[in-house]
Amino acid sequence: MIAFGWGFGVPTGAYTAAPLSGGHLDPAVTLGIAVDTGAWGRVWVHLLGQMLGAVIGAVIGAVLAYLVHLAQFQANVRQTGTTEEPTPTLGVFSTIPEIRNPVANLITEIIPTIALVLPILAFGLTKGLGESGTLVLIVSLLVVGIGLSLGGPTGYAVNPARDPGPRIVHTFLPVPNTGTSDRGHAWIPVVGPLIGGVLSGLLHNVAF
């Protein structure tokens, strides 16, 4: 269900942002395009917008929509004194690895990012897809496929903006006893997708 939720969310954001920015929602994709084409002029604008958008989305979606529910959940935890998860609310905001192994977690983020960004760059060579609007739909299905097949080990950020902003919001969440924000893992869902995006741009530039 999470994978389909992400997949259905992609076309909404992409179709909305397309007239303004070309649909730049992911810094990994933005970097991949810049590395491939050499067009760096508006990269910083896209990156800033993506990071701010993630923070705003976390505040609106997770805090305003779920704050009462999170508070009640924490109250129930305090009453029972038990919970199955060590960080019971973090998963609403950020990714959590199934097994904590920095090297394996980093690789697990790099691979699905390449699986996302490299096809997007290749799809761009087919002008008819972009003109018909089919490209966004195909990318949405690709996101679902990545989530279902590669999403388990780390929660598949595949987007450097997807994790740090919401994790910061979780840190300042006005609910007591929300658990750690797991800062030790926070760099992996940022660095991994950035590496994947750059590698995708280099691979596409060489191969195509």
Show the tokens assigned to 137. Answer: 């739909």
According to the model, what pLDDT value does residue 91 have? 82
Spatial separation of the C-alpha atoms in residues 116 and 161, rounded to whole Å: 15
192 membership: H or E segment, kind and range: helix 188-207
Residue 15, amino acid: Y
Q: Among the listed ranges 85-94, 104-113, 118-127, 168-177, which one has the minimum average pLDDT value?
A: 85-94
Find tokens 């810049």 and name the residue: 34
**40-97 pLDDT, tens digit each:** 999 999 999 999 999 999 998 877 888 888 777 777 766 655 555 444 678 888 899 9
Average pLDDT over residues 2-7: 89
Is the dihedral angle over the CA atoms 23, 144, 112, 66 positive or is it negative? positive
**168-181 pLDDT, tens digit each:** 988 887 776 667 78
Predicted model pTM: 0.87
Spatial separation of the C-alpha atoms in residues 121 and 66, rounded to whole Å: 36
According to the model, what pLDDT value does residue 86 have? 44
Query: To 10 degrees, the CA torsion angle through 150, 152, 154, 155?
Result: 90
Task: List the end-to-end C-alpha distance of the chain, in Å, as a whole number.
Answer: 35
Comparing 183 with 199, the larger pLDDT belongs to 199
According to the model, what pLDDT value does residue 79 have? 63
Angle at 158 between CA 155 and CA 159, to 5 degrees: 115
3-state class (DSSP) for residue 8: helix
List of domains in the chain = 2-207 (1.20.1080.10)
User: To the nearest whole percent, how much of the chain has pLDDT over 70?
Assistant: 89
